[in-house]
Amino acid sequence: MPCCKAEEYDNWCAAEPTVEYEGEEYCIFHAPAECPEKQDVEAFNKKVFERIDKCKKDGEECDLRGAIFPGYISFSAYDKDNPLPNITFSQALFCNAVSFDSVTFGGISEFYDVRFDGYVNFAYAEFKGYVDFGLSIISESSSFMCAIFSSFCEFSQTEFCGRIDFLETIFCNICDFGHAIFNGHLDFTNSKFHQLVVFYAADQLDMSCDHTHFCGPVLFRDIKILSCRFDDCIIDKHIEFERADISRLSLLRAPIESMRFIDCIWPESKGRKVVYDSRSVQGQGYFPLFNVFGADRFSELNKPPEPGRLADLFRRLKKVARDGADEPLASDWHYAEKEMQRLDAKQNKRPWFALGLWLYKLVSGYGESPSRAGLWLVVLALLPWLAHECLDVIMKTLPRDPLPNVQTLAWLNAAFSTPKEYISASINHDATGCYLYTLWLRIYQTLLLVQAGLFGLAVRNKMRR
């Protein structure tokens, strides 16, 4: 009687001898791991290698679909001098750790719907043909360090339960991580992607791409980033974030000129978008984030960036936003840039520049708040009338004597006796009997004109966005 699993897997094991377990007939490959005949792991592994060698000798694909590997197994004997043939492990179960260290896959290799219950090692492996890890589950950490994927590489709907190392890995063709689940840190440090890379509908993405080289486009769509860095990476084309939650994305050392942001969720502070690098946590940093919970704390090794560096980052982001015709985002980056410039000037003891930026913020919100600029314009326009009325009342209640404070009030009353002059071009030089009044009036009119200009600028910015 053939194996009870033979028909399910297209009878590739139909000719294999069977063993009985719990009333069913199984071949040695599909027998459950608890089967007594499978307790000798070394003997089972030998049968696996014999099957691979036979298929290779006959020039056939090696079919190991649905096989159950009861213990640790290493395929390292199949190196570049003895490559594996076309092989499929689809729907197989690896009950323990498995090593493909330095293995060369000479053709197509399928790991579709495979379950790995132990550590998985593909370090230094070379995949010369199409490789498919779709729907697989890797229960522990895995390593693809220094591996080479020469053809299309698919990790669609793969579930990674532990850390995944792709350090110094080379992807020569398209790489698809669509709908993959990442429960551990994903590390692409020093790797190289020659063509398109897709991350689609991934949740809780914790990834490092430091010094990574992207030769082709990279697409992050409908993802939520838990932590992500692109420090000093090289982007030949572009990285596109579309409908992505990037509220925890670090951009401080990223080549943002090659990045596009479409309908993304940014971290926010007081109604304005900022970047995660500028966060404030437990009194350290700059902007408290209102839509990010449990933000990473700063430490001695990970201190808040200098305001000058953040100002440069926001300036570059502003240019990217304007190049993409995203004026509302450019407005937020402009505000954040000026705020960082103000803090940088304050920190580096440039008081006059810091004061100027503080006044710019006070009277117009850095040219981004029409309501604030308009309020100050109204105040400046009405102040002469209010001053005239108040001083007139005060002068009527004071006795007429030559005391200095009374004389000062009298001079001020005379200076504000014609409040219309403060908003007109005409000046009455005889209002106070000296040219000090003329100087004061010119200064006030200049302030009024500047505030009117700031109001116009803020309105223009608001309407443009």
Does the structure show a pLDDT above 90 at 113? yes
pLDDT at 73 over 90: yes
Cα 90 from Cα 85, distance rounded (Å): 15
pLDDT at 432 over 50: no
pLDDT value at 424 more than 70? no
Res 403 pLDDT > 60:
no
pLDDT value for 384: 73
Long-range contacts of 446-453 (CB under 8 A, 24+ apart): 447/380, 448/377, 448/380, 448/381, 448/422, 448/423, 451/363, 451/364, 451/373, 451/376, 451/377, 451/380, 452/377
DSSP assignment letter at 57: H
CA distances (Å), 233 to each of 242, 249, 347, in order?
20, 14, 30
Whether 363 and 370 have beta carbons less than 8 Å apart is answered as: no
Helix (H) or strand (E) holding 138, with range, is strand 137-138
Q: pLDDT at residue 265 above 60?
A: yes
User: 267 or 463: which carries more pLDDT confidence?
Assistant: 267
Q: What percent of the chain has pLDDT over 70?
A: 88
Contact of 285 with 279, CB cutoff 8 Å = yes
Higher per-residue confidence, 128 vs 392: 128
Q: How much of the chain exceeds pLDDT 90, in percent? A: 69
Q: Of 205 and 421, which is predicted with more confidence?
A: 205
The predicted pLDDT at position 308 comes to 95
The per-residue pLDDT for range 437-465, each reduced to its tens digit, is: 677 777 777 888 888 888 888 888 777 76
* Predicted pLDDT at 200: 93
- Token representation of residue 399: 């006795």
Average pLDDT over residues 322-334: 91
Residues β-bridged to residue 315: none
Confidence class for position 266, pLDDT limits 50, 70, 90 = very high
Cα–Cα distances in angstroms (integers) from residue 199 to residues 17, 33, 122, 129, in the given order: 44, 35, 21, 21
* Statement: residue 245 has pLDDT above 90: yes
Q: Name beta bridge partners: 272.
A: 269
Residue entry with tokens 């395929």 = 75
How far is 135 from 158, CA to CA, in rounded Å? Answer: 5
- Confidence tier at 27 by pLDDT (50, 70, 90): very high
pLDDT grade for 236, boundaries at 50, 70 and 90:
very high
Instruction: Count Cβ neighbours within 10 Å for each residue of 72-105 and write b for 16 or more, e otherwise.
Output: bbebeebbeeeebbbbbbbbbbbbebbbbbbbbb
SS3 68: strand
What are the pLDDT digits (tens) for 349-366?
Answer: 899 999 999 999 999 989
Q: What is the CA radius of gyration of the chain?
A: 36
pTM above 0.75, yes or no: yes
> Concatenated DSSP letters for 309-364?
HHHHHHHHHHHHHHHTT-HHHHHHHHHHHHHHHHHHHHHTT-HHHHHHHHHHHHHH
